[in-house]
C-alpha cells in the first residue's frame, strides 16, 4: 500500500512512518519541519537529541534497505500538496500534520490564529486534494479525545443515538473542546464529515488520547532513529513530563487537585492503530470515528505511579499541586467507549510500573539536556 504520512517528522508521525515501512508499505513523509522551529521559538528542546529528517531516513534505508521518500513543504500551500499527491498516488493519507499543543494555541491571539489557520486550512486542502487527485484515497486523520470534553454521560465513538420528543436519530456526539487547539480539531471533524457526504470521500477520524512513551521497536534500532521526547509546559504530555521531572529532582507538577481524567495510550499502540485503520479502510462516502486510547487515568494517579517508580530507581521526588493554568473541571465523571479498534485487532500495551521504569531509564542519560525553567507552566487560559 502506498501511504503518505503527513507530519512524519513528529512525535507520533516518525515512529508511524518507520513502522508502516517495516510492515512492507511504500511510505513517504510530508512535513514542513515547523515543530523543530517551534523549539527555537520556545527556547526549548527534546530531551532526546534528534537527528535531521534527512539523516533519519538515510539511516533507515541503510539498516533496512527500505526507502522513505521525503517532501518538505506545507499543507497550506495547495500547489505543493497537489504535486505530491500526483506523484505518489497514495492509497492512504495519514494526517498528523497539525499544531498539536493546547497550551501553544492559548499563548495569545497570534498563536490561536496560527493554530486554527494551520490546522483547519491545511486539512481542507487535504480534502480538496483527495477529491481532485486521488478520490479513492483513504484519509486517516488524527483527531483528539479532547474534542468531547468531559460530559456527565458516557462518551460514545463519534455518534450517539438521541430520542427527542418521540423521534430518534443517530447524531454526531456533542463536542465541548477545552482550547483553541481542540476547537480546530472539531472544525476538522465537521469538514471531513461534510466532505464524505458530498464527495464520497472515505475517512477515519481517530480521536486519540494522550500518548506516552518514547521508543518503538523501529526507533530503537539506532540512535539516529530516536524519537523526540517533550517535557516543557507547552508540548510535554502528563506522564512523560512527570517522568522527566523525577529524573532532575523536580517536583511532579500536578495542576489543581489532579482529578482530571483522560484516555491514554502507548506510542506503540498509536502506530498499530494507524496500521489497523489503513488495512481496514472506510467505505466510500463513510465518515467513521474510532476513540483511540487504551486506558483511563487521572493526572494524580499518574503522578503517584511515577513517584513510586522513581523512588525505587533512586530518584526521590514530591508531588506539587499548582494553581491550574487551564479552565477545566478537576473533579468529574469520565467514561469513554473504545471498542472499535480492539474489535479490529488492537492488543493494547497497558501502563505498568515496568513501562514507566523503561521510559525513565531511557531518559536518564539525557537529563542534562533539560532546561529547568521550562518545566513550570507559563501559559494561562485566562
Residues with active-site annotation: 144, 181, 185
Q: Say how far apart CA 350 and CA 54 lie, in whole Å.
A: 33
Helix (H, G, I), strand (E, B) or coil at 316: coil
Strands 319-322 and 287-292: unpaired
Count CA within 13 A, CB hemisphere, residue 48.
25
Gyration radius (Cα) of the chain, Å: 20
Helix (H, G, I), strand (E, B) or coil at 138: strand
DSSP, residue by residue, 202-252: EEEEEEE-EEE----TTGGG-GGGPPP---STTT--HHHHHHHHHHTTPPE
Q: Say how far apart CA 227 and CA 248 lie, in whole Å.
A: 20
Is residue 14 within 8 A of residue 56, CB to CB? The reply is yes
Per-residue 3-state assignment (H helix, E strand, C coil) for 275-288: HHHHHCCCCCCCEE
Region of 321 on the Ramachandran plot (φ > 0 left; ψ -120 to 50 alpha; else beta)? beta
Helix (H, G, I), strand (E, B) or coil at 22: helix
Residue with cell 487521572: 298
The distance of Cα 332 from the centroid of its chain, to the nearest Å, equals 23
Amino acid at each position: 500500500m502506498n501511504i503518505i504520512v503527513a507530519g512524519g517528522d513528529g512525535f507520533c508521525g516518525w515512529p508511524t512512518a518507520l513502522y508502516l515501512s517495516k510492515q512492507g508499505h511504500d511510505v513517504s513523509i510530508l512535513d514542513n519541519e515547523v515543530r523543530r522551529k517551534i523549539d527555537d521559538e520556545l527556547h526549548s528542546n527534546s530531551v532526546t537529541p534528534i537527528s535531521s529528517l534527512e539523516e533519519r531516513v538515510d539511516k533507515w534505508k541503510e539498516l533496512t534497505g527500505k526507502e522513505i521518500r521525503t517532501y518538505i513543504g506545507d499543507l497550506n500551500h495547495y500547489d505543493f500538496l497537489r504535486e505530491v499527491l500526483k506523484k505518489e498516488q497514495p492509497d492512504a493519507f495519514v494526517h498528523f500534520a497539525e499544531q498539536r499543543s493546547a497550551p501553544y494555541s492559548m499563548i495569545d491571539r497570534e498563536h490561536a490564529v496560527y493554530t486554527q489557520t494551520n490546522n483547519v486550512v491545511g486539512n481542507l486542502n487535504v480534502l480538496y486534494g483527495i477529491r481532485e487527485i486521488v478520490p479513492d484515497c483513504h484519509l486517516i486523520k488524527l483527531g483528539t479525545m479532547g474534542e468531547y470534553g468531559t460530559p456527565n454521560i458516557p462518551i460514545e465513538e463519534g455518534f450517539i443515538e438521541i430520542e427527542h420528543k418521540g423521534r430518534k436519530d443517530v447524531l454526531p456526539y456533542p463536542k465541548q473542546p477545552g482550547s483553541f487547539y481542540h476547537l480546530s480539531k472539531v472544525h476538522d471533524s465537521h469538514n471531513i464529515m461534510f466532505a464524505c457526504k458530498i464527495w464520497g470521500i472515505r475517512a477515519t477520524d481517530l480521536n486519540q488520547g494522550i500518548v506516552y512513551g518514547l521508543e518503538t521497536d523501529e526507533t530503537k534500532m539506532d540512535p539516529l532513529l530516536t524519537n523526540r521526547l517533550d517535557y516543557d509546559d507547552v508540548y510535554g504530555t502528563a506522564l512523560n513530563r512527570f517522568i522527566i521531572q523525577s529524573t532532575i529532582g523536580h517536583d511532579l507538577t500536578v495542576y489543581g487537585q489532579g482529578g482530571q481524567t483522560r484516555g491514554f495510550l502507548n506510542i506503540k499502540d498509536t502506530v498499530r492503530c494507524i496500521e489497523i485503520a489503513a488495512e481496514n479502510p472506510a467505505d466510500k462516502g463513510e465518515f467513521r470515528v474510532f476513540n483511540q486510547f487504551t486506558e483511563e487515568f487521572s493526572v494524580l494517579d499518574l503522578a503517584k505511579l511515577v513517584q513510586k517508580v522513581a523512588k525505587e530507581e533512586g530518584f526521590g521526588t514530591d508531588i506539587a499541586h499548582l494553581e491550574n493554568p487551564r479552565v477545566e473541571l478537576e473533579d468529574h465523571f469520565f467514561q469513554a467507549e473504545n471498542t472499535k479498534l480492539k474489535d479490529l485487532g488492537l492488543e493494547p500495551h497497558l501502563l505498568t510500573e515496568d513501562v514507566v521504569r523503561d521510559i525513565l531509564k531511557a531518559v536518564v542519560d539525557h537529563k542534562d539536556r533539560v532546561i529547568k525553567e521550562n518545566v513550570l507552566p507559563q501559559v494561562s487560559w485566562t
